[in-house]
Amino acid sequence: MNRRGRLIALTLAVVAFAAAVVVVIVALQMTGGGDRSANQEQAPRTGRTEAPPAAPAPTATSAECPEPTVRVATGTDLENALHSARPGDVIGLAAGTYTGNFTATADGTAEQPIVLCGDADSILDGGTTDDGYVLHLENSSHWVLQGFAVRNGQKGVMVDQSTNTLIQGLSVTTIGDEAIHLRKFSTDNRVVGNTISDTGLRKPKFGEGIYIGTAESNWCDISNCEPDRSDRNAIEGNTIFGTTSENVDIKEGTSDGVLRANSFDGSGIVEADSWVDVKGRGWVIEDNTGADSPLDGFQTHEIVDGWGTDNVFRDNVAQVNGPGLGYSLKPVRGNVVDCSNTASDAGEGLSNEPCSSG
């Protein structure tokens, strides 16, 4: 073979070798090849109860405000617009500060929700962290709260006996107690893509980021001494940090909700010991990430017999950086930690219960 022929043969051989290397790399990536990170722990797989199928993915929602039908620029304007709201109204908040406590009680419809919309420069300000709800939805349905800021109230956004509401893209900060609270039989609501920070400025014990339902000790005050069945609520894609109590507290009496794709930071927690405490029943907790907890990442508790049970954790990433567990099930009672969950820098490991290979 002449010199030119040898060069061509050598070139073809190099190309073939490079192609083979690419095929091997792609195959390893597709099959999950490679070791799990050394500081991520996973419990032994068992054959216990399979996790139920994943809940449906969140429905896409627009981040832009619809064209307003009512434009407001002062606190009085806003009070009047909320008082007279009708299905299909779009209340547009101009940039500025709206000082006061605002209440909405009207009903929209599925086809014509009532929209209250602004941007980060549209600020509802309660004036003090010692008293009042900055924005209160009461006995209402089919609202969209979108894009504006809420600050300086004892509670940020309170939703009582209200259904089919979307709370989306708000910034809720500098709050005396909890930032967003769904209670008093509020069902089928969605809390999506909000940024929550700096809660518990009045009483750190009550400084949750998002709070669902009512504690059993308050049922007689809030829900006629019955469980507060604030059911089928979805908490998705929120960023929560700087809370003095849990980032999310899911109370006994609530069922069949979804906690999905949220980002938790527990570095400010002083009156709780986890990012998430699930005391309800039948919740799906999936695709969340968390960092820096005083003890555990996620917990369940059975405060009332039959509650705090049958919840499923899957595809969560817990960077605990604390002495406890990634997933603490106390008691287990039908709760499932799927083997898709991970925990890192958790002093006691992934979970007190072997993971389930769903």
* DSSP H helices in 36-193: 75-83
Pairing of strands 143-146, 289-291: unpaired
The verdict on pTM exceeding 0.75 is yes
Asked whether residue 124 is assigned to any structural domain, the reply reads yes
* Distance of alpha carbon 254 from alpha carbon 210, whole angstroms: 14
Instruction: Check if the beta carbon of residue 336 is closer than 8 Å to that of residue 313.
Output: yes
Asked whether residue 68 is assigned to any structural domain, the reply reads no
Asked whether residue 50 is assigned to any structural domain, the reply reads no
Residue among 259, 213, 214, 215 nearest 240 (CA): 259
pLDDT of residue 358: 66
* Distance of alpha carbon 237 from alpha carbon 222, whole angstroms: 28
User: In which band, very low, low, confident or very high, does the pLDDT at 312 lie, cut at 50, 70 and 90?
Assistant: very high
The domain spanning residue 214 has which CATH number? Answer: 2.160.20.10
Please report, to the nearest 10 degrees, the dihedral formed by the alpha carbons of residues 267, 271, 273, 276 taken in order: -80
* Distance of alpha carbon 224 from alpha carbon 218, whole angstroms: 9
pLDDT of residue 357: 86
Greatest Cα pair distance, the chain, in angstroms, is 97
Residue among 120, 76, 65 nearest 95 (CA): 120
Tokens of 334: 């039908």
* DSSP H helices in 209-324: 219-222
> Where do we find the tokens 């429905």?
59
**E strands, 3-132, in order:** 40-41, 70-72, 90-93, 96-99, 102-104, 114-117, 122-125
pLDDT of residue 36: 32
Percent of the chain with pLDDT over 90: 81
Q: Is the pLDDT confidence value at 283 over 50?
A: yes
The DSSP code for 141 is B
Asked whether residue 235 is assigned to any structural domain, the reply reads yes
Q: pLDDT digit string (tens) for 291-305?
A: 999 999 999 999 999
Question: What is the arithmetic mean of pLDDT over 149-166?
Answer: 98
Asked whether residue 357 is assigned to any structural domain, the reply reads no
Asked whether residue 21 is assigned to any structural domain, the reply reads no
Question: What is the arithmetic mean of pLDDT over 324-340?
Answer: 96
> Which residues lie below 8 Å from residue 305, measured CB to CB, with a gap of 6+?
none
The total of structural domains in the chain comes to 1
* DSSP H helices in the chain: 3-30, 75-83, 219-222
Q: pLDDT digit string (tens) for 219-232?
A: 999 999 999 999 99
Tokens of 116: 């209250």
Domain that holds residue 290: 87-351
Which residue type, as a one-letter code, is found at position 104?
A
User: In which band, very low, low, confident or very high, does the pLDDT at 26 lie, cut at 50, 70 and 90?
Assistant: very low
The helix or strand, by DSSP H or E, that contains position 330, with its residue range, turns out to be strand 325-330
Per-chain mean pLDDT for the chain: 87
Asked whether residue 220 is assigned to any structural domain, the reply reads yes
Instruction: Check if the beta carbon of residue 284 is closer than 8 Å to that of residue 55.
Output: yes
* Distance of alpha carbon 230 from alpha carbon 252, whole angstroms: 10
Q: Is the pLDDT confidence value at 44 over 90?
A: no
> Where do we find the tokens 């005050």?
221
* Distance of alpha carbon 155 from alpha carbon 174, whole angstroms: 10
Asked whether residue 24 is assigned to any structural domain, the reply reads no
Q: Is the pLDDT confidence value at 202 over 50?
A: yes
Phi, psi of 256 (to 5 degrees): 60, 35
Starting from the edge strand earliest in sequence, which strands make up the sheet with 258-260, in order?
70-72, 90-93, 114-117, 143-146, 166-168, 190-192, 234-236, 258-260, 284-286, 312-314, 336-337
